[in-house]
Amino acid sequence: VSWLARALGFTSINAIGVDLAETQVRRARTRSRDLSELEGIELTFETGDICERLPWPDASFDLCLCLYGVLNHIPPSRVSGLLAEIARVTRHDLIATVRSIGSTPTICVDSIEEARWFWHDECRNRLEAELQNGGRLSMDFRLFGTAELKAASNPYFEVTELQGLDLFHGRFTRDRRWNRTSKTSASFIRKLESLEERYCRDPEFVDHANHLLFVASPRPSPRAEADR
Ligand SMILES: C[S@@+](CC[C@H](N)C(=O)[O-])C[C@H]1O[C@@H](n2cnc3c(N)ncnc32)[C@H](O)[C@@H]1O
């Protein structure tokens, strides 16, 4: 939050973070303790369901961040209502990252090696997995393509940026479980970076990225227009 806000020219930050899971809220509080002590930074974390009506007035936030796949966990029937609510409470931009339809596998809660097996059901938008320790998980998990993201957000947002993140790095970096001694050279990494830049908005590549970066500004609501 801090580097992004400063890079955008904000001199103070008053941010509220919301998560459905109490453990995630506690983790966020602990991890942000050092940040909260800095002058001009006020961070609050709350437990809440973002699919419900958001408890803040219209245009009460400059920015809304919805990062690392939060939208992937929202049941498809609730995404439109959530985007409408985010557009209502956001003055400037929504910045979201979501897992894309062409991304490499994940089990969300742990590294993929911790799964004995996993299965993503694209019809029911569910992720099921059994962990090495015998634990089972089952959660709402919908992968997004750029077309779905544009269609879902179009009534409420104007898209200013939609690009793929990690098209090449994750796939080309050597896997240490397979070859522990070989190293990826710095020049190869630079070449991957230039490939990322070249193809991150290419329609044939973007849906193959691990994440989609989505930046959008709310369309004026009919009520705000009428008040002008
Ligand atoms: C992949 S994690 C991302 C966490 C965090 N945004 C970050 O950047 O580290 C997705 C989070 O979305 C939360 N989540 C899923 N459905 C939610 C809902 N309806 N309301 C609030 N949070 C939700 C989950 O509890 C989980 O912590």
- pLDDT of 2-11, one tens digit each? 677 777 787 8
Q: What is the structure's pLDDT at 225?
A: 65
Distance from C-alpha of 214 to C-alpha of 58, rounded to nearest angstrom = 22
Name the closest-CA residue to atom 19, ligand 1: 49
Distance from C-alpha of 188 to C-alpha of 69, rounded to nearest angstrom = 29
Percentage of the residues of the chain whose pLDDT score is greater than 70: 96
CA of 28, closest atom in ligand 1? 9
Residues linked to residue 45 through DSSP beta bridges, in sequence order: 17
* Euclidean distance between the first and the last CA atom of the chain, given in angstroms as a whole number: 32
CA 167 to centroid of ligand 1, rounded, Å: 23
Alpha helices in 67-162 (DSSP H): 76-89, 146-153
> Directed axis angle between helix 146-153 and helix 76-89, to 10°?
60
Structure confidence at residue 1 as a pLDDT band (50, 70, 90): low
pTM metric for this prediction: 0.90
CB 119 within 8 A of CB 112: no
Distance from C-alpha of 168 to C-alpha of 10, rounded to nearest angstrom = 33
CB 15 within 8 A of CB 44: yes
CA 139 to centroid of ligand 1, rounded, Å: 12
CB 97 within 8 A of CB 214: yes
Name the closest-CA residue to atom 6, ligand 1: 67
For residue 226, pLDDT over 70 is answered with: no
Residues 6+ apart with CB under 8 A from 169: 189, 192, 196
Alpha helices in 154-185 (DSSP H): 169-172
**Tens of pLDDT along 120-160?**
999 999 999 999 999 999 999 999 999 999 999 999 999 99
CA dihedral angle for residue 53, residue 55, residue 60, residue 65, rounded to 10 degrees: -70
- Residue 65 Cβ inside 6 Å of ligand 1? The answer reads no
CB 200 within 8 A of CB 164: yes
